[in-house]
Amino acid sequence: MHHTWTGLRSLGLVVGLSLVWLSGCDERVSYSQRSPDEVVKSAVAMVQNGDADRLDDLIYADSEKMRAVLNRLGVTLGHVQLLAATLQAKFPEEIAKLKAETEQAAAEGRSAGGLSAMFSGGRVNVEGGGGRPSGPPGFDEGSGRGERSDGRSRMEGILTRLLADPYGWIESNAPRLSTVKLADDMATVTLDDKPVLPPIGIPLKQDKGLWFVSLPLHLPPLSGYMPATDEEWSIIGSLIAVLDRAVVEIHRDVESGKVGSLNAVGDELGDKVIFPGMMAFAAYGMEMDVRQRRNRAIENFKKRQREWVKSRRERSEGRAGGGTESAVPDVVERAIDSVRAAALDKVTRKRESRKFDGLTDAEFEDLAERWLQDEGLVIELSGDLSGSGMTEAVQQWLEARKTATGSGKRR
């Protein structure tokens, strides 16, 4: 579980700091994405114009699931912006102190708290200050009613600072932000001509003539914790929904006078999000365990699939006239590849033990046929696979699946 937390912490750090850099985006102002530098300028302009709910337009999504989560996050950041404006109006002296700390930290090239401290475990509270790093920002509720553990107090202080001045970092550093091209279609964000968040950075990529922030979620070690299944994306979406609901409710309570200080904001936010957050991280950790078992099953199946393909090719090359054996076309292999992960996910969740290396070719073909049939493709893998009509039908099925899934690059 320690390794799971470390990976999730790293994943959260990259996503969180990237969003703080971007956040901040009806008269719909047009924001350019024609070059890497214009993406940076657009992000700054979104902060200045109060369009935080549009920041997800600048982030590349490689699937519909990711796009849906980013859209939801954009709504939440819009609500965060509204809450921040209300906090600044209600508690100007406390907010001014926090902003001064943020500006001083930016001038000194360090963090005043916020997301970087949140994910590194550094102690932060509304009054400022630092402390030694610790483990996961504690979800310990304390030993008794009304008490706060050090971990919880630290978490509440960090979250309060973020809500009170969510865009202070980008506002303070806007003149120092730029980009540098790494390739014709790749770039990275820089601060004073040095990459932000080294060594991973905040990459940008070009897609269909537009530039996007491309969160480095597919690079090790983050790739090991990037959501991939419906269940994993659902957990992330639920966590965002919890945060959004808490922000909306706190905004209402601050406006009504029910919450009368920034420290009270922190307490209420902790009550609303820390325990659900703990449950979400635990659930995600369980999903990572499922993923590990599923990946092992996939590797075993792929090995048996390669052996089957080789066996079919050898039998095809040596068959006598009139036989029905044929080599496996690439399009058929791709069809099996496209259903493999989902099918094995079901097997893994049922904790069924399948030894694919013990399957005969006929048993392997029967299993793959059933998986394909469940997804709408009826094909006889034991027969002749070389006919053009068959390969065209499989190709059409693959294209239909791709169309149904969608690219998810823009909402």
Q: What is the predicted pLDDT for the residue at 9? A: 58
pLDDT above 80 for 332: yes
Q: What is the predicted pLDDT for the residue at 18? A: 61
Containing H/E element for 282? helix 262-318
Q: What is the predicted pLDDT for the residue at 25? A: 43
pLDDT above 60 for 160: yes
Lowest mean pLDDT among 140-144, 344-348, 389-393: 140-144
Q: pLDDT per residue over 64-89, tens digit each?
A: 899 999 999 999 999 999 999 999 99
Of 21, 26, 27, 62, which Cα lies nearest the Cα of 42? 21
Give CA–CA dist 105/342, Å, rounded. 47
Q: What is the predicted pLDDT for the residue at 161? A: 82
Domain segments of the chain as ranges: 2-288, 293-405
pLDDT mean across residues, the chain: 82
If one compares 168 and 300, the residue with the highest pLDDT of the two is 300
If one counts every other C-beta atom within 10 angstroms of the C-beta of residue 105, the result is 18
Give CA–CA dist 112/126, Å, rounded. 11
Q: What is the predicted pLDDT for the residue at 198? A: 86
* Residue 236 · residue 242 · CB < 8 Å: no
Q: Is the dihedral of CA 253, 259, 261, 262 positive or negative?
A: negative
Q: What is the predicted pLDDT for the residue at 119? A: 33
If one counts every other C-beta atom within 10 angstroms of the C-beta of residue 370, the result is 11
pLDDT above 70 for 22: no
Of 6, 4, 3, 11, which Cα lies nearest the Cα of 215? 11
Q: pLDDT per residue over 252-285, tens digit each?
A: 999 999 999 998 998 999 899 989 989 999 999 9
pLDDT above 90 for 127: no
pLDDT above 70 for 19: no
CA atoms within 13 A on the CB side of 99: 16
Q: pLDDT per residue over 281-294, tens digit each?
A: 999 999 999 999 99
Provide mean pLDDT across the span 165-176: 85
pLDDT above 80 for 300: yes
Give CA–CA dist 148/154, Å, rounded. 9
Q: For residue 130, name the pLDDT band (cuts at 50, 70, 90).
A: very low
